[in-house]
Amino acid sequence: MTFGSLDLNTVWFVLVGVLFTGYVILDGFDLGVGVLHLLAVRRDEERRVFINAIGPVWDGNEVWLVTGGGALFAAFPAVYATVFSGFYLAFMALLCALIFRAVAIEFRSKRPSPCWRAFWDGGFALGSFGSALLIGVAMGNIAWGIPLDARGEFAGSLPGLLHPYALLMGVTTVALFAMHGAIYLVLKTEGELQATVRCWVNPLIIAFILCYVIVTLATLLYVPHITEAFRREPWFFGIVIPVVLAIANIPREVNRGKEFLAFLSSCAAMVGLMAIFGLGAYPNLVYSLPNPEHSLTITNAASSHKTLGIMLTIALLGIPAVLAYSTSIYWIFRGKVKIDRMSY
Amino acid sequence: MDVLTLSRLQFALTIAFHYLFPPLSIGLGLLLVIVEGLWLATKNPLYHQMARFWTKVFALTFAIGVATGIVMEFEFGTNWATYSRYVGDVFGSALAAEGIFAFFLESGFLAVLLFGWDKVGPKVHFLATCMVAFGAHFSAIWIVVANSWMQTPAGFHIVGGGLAARAEITDFWAMVFNPSSMDRLSHTLAGAWQAGAWLMVSVGAWYLLHRRHRDFALASVKIGLGLALVAAVFSLITGDASARGVARNQPAKLAAFEGLWETTAQAPLHLVGWVDERNKRTHGVAMPGLLSWLACGDSARPVTGLDAIPKADRPPVNFSFQLFHLMVAVGFGMIGLAGWAAFALWRGRLEDSRLLLWLLTFSVLGPQIANQAGWWAAEVGRQPWIVYNLLRTSEALSAVVTANQVAASMVMFMVVYLLLFAVFLFLLNDKIRHGPDEADLVPSGKLALGFEPKEEC
C-alpha cells in the first residue's frame, strides 16, 4: 500500500504512542497488582487470587511493550538506539525486574512450601514495583530532556538521570499503577478480600492525585518546553479538562460501587495523560537539554518514508485483529477470580 | 576485557539461553495441536490427559521464553546502538511485524490454552491451541527473516556515509525472501520440531523404563517419534539446502565450516577433524570430492577456500568447524536413533530394549545441542561481520556504553539465568516425576459436553 503525501512521521509518532499507551493501561494494572501484592494481603489464598486475577492476561499485556519497542526500533531507529544505550543500566535493571515479575507468576504456585512461595512473592512484588518505578523514571527523563551530542548520542551519566523530577515521575507512576491495579482487583475479587482491597482504593487515589498535582506544578515551573507547547496551542487544554474530570470520576464511581466505570475512568485518565505527554513533546521524541538543536525529532530520527508506509500496512492489517481477539479473551476471562486446579 | 568482547559475550550468553526455550515452545505447540486434534477426532480420553500434561510443560517453557526474549529486543538498542541505527529501517520492520502478528497471537490465545479448559467448548479450545502454535511458528518466521537478512542482505540500499550510513528498504519482499531466509527458516523450524518431539519421546521412554503410566508413555513415544522422524529427515534436507546456500552466498563461512584453506576442485568433506589455524592445515578424516559435490552438485567444481578471503574478513576457523561438525554429527545421530526406535516400535519390541529406552530418555539433549551448535556456527561463521559484507561487529557497538556497565549487566544475567535454569530443571523434573493426572482421563466442565465416559459405552 502507498500512502501518498500522508505525514507518516506524525502517524508513527501517534502509533508508537498508542502502543505505549496500550502498555501502560494494560500492564499498568498487572504491575499495580504486583505493587500491592505484599502490602495488601498476607494469606496464601488471597495472594493466589491476586496472581490469578492477572494470570491469563499479563503475558499478552506485556506484548504491548515488546511491540511498542519493536515499532520504535523500526519507525525511529535513532531514538531506540540513543535511549536504550543511554539508559543502559536503568534498562538492564528494568529487564531484571520484568524477568522476575514474569517467572514469579509462573513459578510461585508450583510448590506448596511457604519459603518457596515467599521468595516468588517477593520476586513478583519487587519486580512489579521496580518495573513501574523505572518506567516512570524513564518517562520523567524523556519529558525533562536528556543531554544529547551533535550526533544524537546520549551525553549524560546515570546519576544525571536520577534528578528529582524523574524520581517524582517514577513515584507518580507507581502510585498511578497501584491505584489502577487496586480498582482492577476490586473488579476481580469478592467477599472479604474485596472489602480489604476496597479499603486500599481511596488512599491510593489520594496518593496519586497528590503526586499528579506536584508533577503538574513541577512541569509548569521547571519544564518550559512542554508548557511552551501548551502556550502556543491553547486548544491542548481541551485534553486537560477531560483528564481532570476522569481522575475526579474515579473516587465517585468507587464510592457508588460502580467499579467497572471507575476502571474505565482510570483507563481514560491514563490515555489522557499519555496524550498530554505526547502533545507536549511533539515533534520531539527525545528533547535535548541543554542543546535543544540536538533533539531527536519525528523527522531526523525516522526511518524512510517507504519503511514507514510498509509498517503502516502491517499495523493496519495487524492491529484490528489484535484488538478483536484481545477483547474476546478479556470477555472469556471476565468476572470474579475462581481458583481451580489450572490456576496459578 | 574490552567492551566489544563483553558485549559479544553477553549477547551470546543471553541468546543461547533464550534459544533453549522457543524451539521447545514451537515443537510442543505443534504436538499439542496434534494431540488435541486426536482427542477431538477419537474422543479417546488418553489424548485429553496427554494434552493436559503437555500443556503444563509448554506453559513452563513458554514463560521462560517470554521472560528471556524481551532481553533480546532490548539488547539491540542497549549494546548495539550503532547497529540499530544502521539496520533499523530494515530489521525493525521485521521485529515490529513479529510483535504485531506473532506475539499478540501467541500470548493472547495462550490464556485460553492454559486457563480456558472449563470456560470454552472443545472446539474453541482447539482453535486457541492452533493459534498459539501458529503464533509460535510465526514468530520464528520474522526473527529468522531478520537474521537471514544479516547473513545475506537484499532489497536495500545504503544511504549516507561514514558514521551516518544506514540501510534502507527498497523492496520489502526482496528483504523478506532474501537468498537465505527460506532455507534457514525451514531448517530452524525442523530443529524446533525435533526439540519438542524428542522431549515428548524422552519423557515417554523414561516412564516405560520405570514401568509407569504405560498407555500415556507409549502414546507419547509414538506421537513424539512420528514427528521426530519426519523432522529429523526434514532437518537433513533443509540443512543440505542451507549449506548449498552458504556455499553460494557466504563462501568464507563455508570454508571455515569445512576448514578448507585452498580453493580447489575435488574439495574434501571432513567427517571429523581439527583445524590448525597457525599452519593453515586441517587434520582429520575426509572424503575427497564430497564437499564439491554437495556444495556445487559436481565433484569437479572448485569450492572457494580461505585463501580467497582477506585475512581481516575470515571468521574463527576451528571454532566454526567444530560447531558445524557437532551439529551435523548430532543431526545424523538423531536420524539413526529415530530410525532404530521406529523400527523397534513397528516390530513391537520397543519396550524390550533397555538400551534403546535409555538412549531415548537422553535423546532430548540431542536437538538442543544441535540447535545451539548450529545457531552458534551460523553466527560465528558470519564474523567479523554483523551484517555480512556491510557492517563489522566491531563497528556496531553502542558509543556510550562502557566495559564496566556491560560487565555489571553480564554478572546480573549470569546470576539470574543460572537461577532460572535451576528452577526450570527442578520444576520440569517435578512435573515429569508427578506424571500425568489421572483425573484428566475424565474431562470436566464445558469440555465434557457431548462426551460419554468409557464405562457407559
Confidence of residue B453 (pLDDT cuts 50, 70, 90): very low
Using the predicted structure, report yes or no on whether residue A131 has a pLDDT greater than 70: yes
Model pLDDT, residue A35: 92
CB B221 within 8 A of CB B227: no
Cα A217 to the center of its chain, rounded Å = 21
Which three-class secondary structure string do you get for A291-340? CHHHCEECCCCCCCHHHHHHHHHHHHHHHHHHHHHHHHHHHHCCCCCCCC
Q: Which of B63, B400, B409 sits opposite A92 (nearest CB)?
A: B409
Round to whole Å and give the CA distance between B196 and B30.
Answer: 8
ipTM: 0.87
Round to whole Å and give the CA distance between B83 and B392.
Answer: 9
- Residue A122 near chain B (CB below 8 Å): no
CB A92 within 8 A of CB A38: no
Q: Give the Å distances, CA to CA, from B310 to A108, B314, B379.
A: 54, 7, 19
Mean pLDDT of all residues in B302-316 = 87
Q: Pull the grid cell for residue A34.
A: 504486583
Contact check, Cβ <8 Å, B169/A306: yes
- Residue B388 near chain A (CB below 8 Å): no
Confidence of residue B304 (pLDDT cuts 50, 70, 90): confident
- Residue B115 near chain A (CB below 8 Å): yes
CA pseudo-torsion sign A59, A62, A67, A69: negative
Q: Pull the grid cell for residue B297.
A: 552438485
CB A173 within 8 A of CB A94: no
Model pLDDT, residue B348: 84
CA pseudo-torsion sign B293, B296, B300, B305: negative
The packing angle between helices A8-40 and A164-188, to 10°, is: 70
Any idea where the domains of chain B sit in the sequence? 1-178+397-433+445-452, 181-249+251-381
In a domain, A337, yes or no: no
| 3-class DSSP assignment, residue A83 | helix
- Residue A147 near chain B (CB below 8 Å): no
Size of interface A-B (CB pairs under 8 A): 229
Q: pLDDT tens-digit profile of B330-384?
A: 999 999 999 999 999 888 888 888 899 999 999 999 999 999 999 999 999 998 9
Round to whole Å and give the CA distance between B253 and B330.
Answer: 20
**Residue A322 CB contacts under 8 Å (≥ 6 apart), including other chains:** B100, B104, B108
Model pLDDT, residue B91: 80
**Residue B452 CB contacts under 8 Å (≥ 6 apart), including other chains:** B43
Least confident stretch, B3-12, B121-130, B167-176, B283-292: B283-292
Mean pLDDT of all residues in B231-241 = 93
Percent of chain B at pLDDT exceeding 90: 47
Round to whole Å and give the CA distance between A303 and A198.
Answer: 47
CB B51 within 8 A of CB B403: no
- Residue B76 near chain A (CB below 8 Å): yes
More confident residue, B425 or A5: B425
Give B300: exposed, middle or buried? Use CB within 10 Å, 0-12, 13-18, 19+: exposed
More confident residue, B335 or A228: B335
Confidence of residue B203 (pLDDT cuts 50, 70, 90): very high
Chain A residues with CB-CB distance to B85 below 8 A: 77-78, 81
- Residue B418 near chain A (CB below 8 Å): no
Residue linked to cell 541543554:
A290
Chain B, nearest residue to A100 by Cα: B67
Round to whole Å and give the CA distance between A259 and B19.
Answer: 43
In a domain, A344, yes or no: no
More confident residue, A249 or B296: A249
Q: Give the Å distances, CA to CA, from A198 to A195, A337, B45, B72, B87.
A: 5, 16, 44, 39, 49
Query: Which of A16, A58, A61, A106 to mutate to probe the B interface, most B CBs <10 Å?
Result: A106
Confidence of residue A126 (pLDDT cuts 50, 70, 90): very high
CB B315 within 8 A of CB B256: yes
Q: Pull the grid cell for residue B32.
A: 499439542
Predicted model pTM = 0.90
- Residue B421 near chain A (CB below 8 Å): no
**Residue A293 CB contacts under 8 Å (≥ 6 apart), including other chains:** none
Q: Which of A85, A95, A306 sits opposite B70 (nearest CB)?
A: A95
Q: pLDDT tens-digit profile of A155-175?
A: 888 888 889 999 999 999 999
In a domain, A1, yes or no: no
In a domain, A343, yes or no: no
Q: Which of residues 150-179 of B touch A (CB under 8 A)?
A: 159, 163, 166, 168-170, 172
CATH no. for residue A232?
Answer: 1.20.1630.10
Using the predicted structure, report yes or no on whether residue B454 has a pLDDT greater than 50: no
Round to whole Å and give the CA distance between A133 and A129.
Answer: 6
Least confident stretch, A123-137, A153-167, B193-207: A153-167
Least confident stretch, A232-241, B123-132, B139-148: A232-241
Round to whole Å and give the CA distance between A211 and A205.
Answer: 10
Round to whole Å and give the CA distance between A177 and A101.
Answer: 15
Cα A219 to the center of its chain, rounded Å = 19
Mean pLDDT of all residues in A185-199 = 88
Q: Which of A85, A111, A315 sits opposite B398 (nearest CB)?
A: A85
Domain that holds residue A301: 8-332
Q: pLDDT tens-digit profile of B42-66?
A: 888 889 889 999 999 999 899 889 8
Min Cα distance B456 → chain A (Å) is 26
Looking at residue A339, its amino acid is I
Chain A, nearest residue to B399 by Cα: A153
Round to whole Å and give the CA distance between B84 and A80.
Answer: 8
In degrees rounded to 5, what are phi and psi of residue B232?
Answer: -65, -40
Mean pLDDT of all residues in A320-326 = 87
Model pLDDT, residue B447: 59
Q: pLDDT tens-digit profile of A233-247?
A: 888 888 888 988 999
Alpha helices in B347-364 (DSSP H): 354-362
Q: Pull the grid cell for residue B163.
A: 558514521
Using the predicted structure, report yes or no on whether residue A95 has a pLDDT greater than 90: yes
Mean pLDDT of all residues in B256-282 = 84
In a domain, A342, yes or no: no
Number of independent structural domains in chain A: 1
Model pLDDT, residue B444: 64
Model pLDDT, residue B340: 92
Confidence of residue B401 (pLDDT cuts 50, 70, 90): confident
Using the predicted structure, report yes or no on whether residue B311 has a pLDDT greater than 90: no
Min Cα distance A279 → chain B (Å) is 24
In a domain, A44, yes or no: yes
Cα A178–A270–A189 angle (5° rounding)?
A: 40
Q: Pull the grid cell for residue A312.
A: 503502516
Using the predicted structure, report yes or no on whether residue B457 has a pLDDT greater than 50: no
Q: Which of A59, A85, A319 sits opposite B77 (nearest CB)?
A: A85
Looking at residue A1, its amino acid is M
Q: Which of residues 6-65 of B touch A (CB under 8 A)?
A: 59-60, 63-64
Q: Pull the grid cell for residue A146.
A: 536528556
Burial B309-320 (b: 16+ CB within 10 A, else e): beeeebbbbebb
In a domain, A338, yes or no: no
Burial B10-38 (b: 16+ CB within 10 A, else e): bbeebbebbbbbbbbbbbbbbbbbbbbeb
pLDDT, averaged across chain A: 88
Burial A311-334 (b: 16+ CB within 10 A, else e): bbebbeebbeebeebbeebeebbe
